[in-house]
Amino acid sequence: MEVSRGEDFYARKVENKDGSEQYQLLKEHLTNVAELASEFVGQFSDKNIGYAMGLLHDAGKYSEAFQQRIRGALVKVGHAKAGAVVCENLYEASEKNVFMYRLMGMAIMGHHNKLSDFGTVAQIGTYKMRISNVNDIEAYAADFATEITDIPQVPKDDSRMRIRRPLVSMNGQSNSYQQKVVIGFMAQLYGRMLFSCLVDADRIDAQNYPDSEASKIMNAHKSIPDLQIVFDRAMDKFQKAAKRTALNDIRTGIYRDCLTASQGEKGFFSLT
């Protein structure tokens, strides 16, 4: 089955209870996700970064194979790599924005799976290896460019500015190695926050189509104190049912350490 030029491009198909089907336009989905991601990223960085990620994240759905699949063809096709390729092309054009576009590309690449290590072309499962295997984007790049024409430029060094900010308080007391550790930690945290913003925006729009009833249910959540009561009960039940093993003893110790840390000063914590 071939999709004729001039036909609509779809992001998803929803089957209603009465057996009918509804299709969300791809451009509508990309715009919705862009607006949501822009709002989320704007809480800690430049909102254009979120908007650009939203527009690019499903660029691969413009492919012939995906449009056949959504119309019923039994074909397996991925779509997350294409937007990352566009990011690669954008940073190559901007030259000085390599760092930001790479973080955006990694978030887009993993938005249906997980963040990958950057790695090399030779390392299986890494970002560089996966992006090197995208060969057919030229076949549908024109369709994408026709519908999506307003990709904003992301600010130069926005992330670097915010990542380097913690170094100001060090007063020159740290050496270059310590600075690299801090910058590395802040960079990965910043990248994870971008990833989270994109994933949340994508899932919220999916829940909202064809209506917003699912999101209304999701938003009717309990307060944090109420959730803590539910969590504590669930964990107590879980621990009582768990077998006493050396591994579970270690897990229990880690859990108790986390509880203890939660009572101290607020900050960022790592299990590793």
**Confidence label for 175 from pLDDT (cuts 50, 70 and 90):** low
pLDDT of residue 77: 80
In degrees and rounded to multiples of 5, residue 99 shows phi and psi of -60, -50
Closest CA to 71 of 122, 136, 163, 8: 8
pLDDT of residue 97: 61
Distances (CA, A) of 89 to 60, 84, 98: 15, 9, 10
Whether 185 and 267 have beta carbons less than 8 Å apart is answered as: no
Q: For residue range 9-54, what is the model confidence (pLDDT) as tens digits?
A: 999 988 888 888 899 999 999 999 999 999 999 988 889 999 999 9
**Burial category of 49 from C-beta neighbours within 10 Å (exposed 0-12, middle 13-18, buried 19 and up):** buried
pLDDT at residue 160 is higher than 60: no
Closest CA to 142 of 54, 59, 68: 59
Q: What is the mean pLDDT of residues 185-213?
A: 88
Share of the chain above pLDDT 70, in %: 82
57-71, 107-121, 164-178, 205-219: segment of lowest average pLDDT: 164-178
**Confidence label for 75 from pLDDT (cuts 50, 70 and 90):** confident
Q: For residue range 110-157, what is the model confidence (pLDDT) as tens digits?
A: 998 888 888 777 888 888 877 777 666 666 777 888 888 888 888 765
pLDDT of residue 52: 93
Kindly state the tokens that stand for 22: 């509804």
Q: For residue range 78-104, what is the model confidence (pLDDT) as tens digits?
A: 788 888 888 877 766 555 567 788 889
Output the DSSP codes for 111-167.
TTS-------TTSTTSHHHHHTT---GGGTHHHHHHH---PPPPPTTHHHHHHHHHH
- Between CA 149 and CA 200 the distance in angstroms is 24
- Between CA 260 and CA 160 the distance in angstroms is 33
**Burial category of 127 from C-beta neighbours within 10 Å (exposed 0-12, middle 13-18, buried 19 and up):** buried
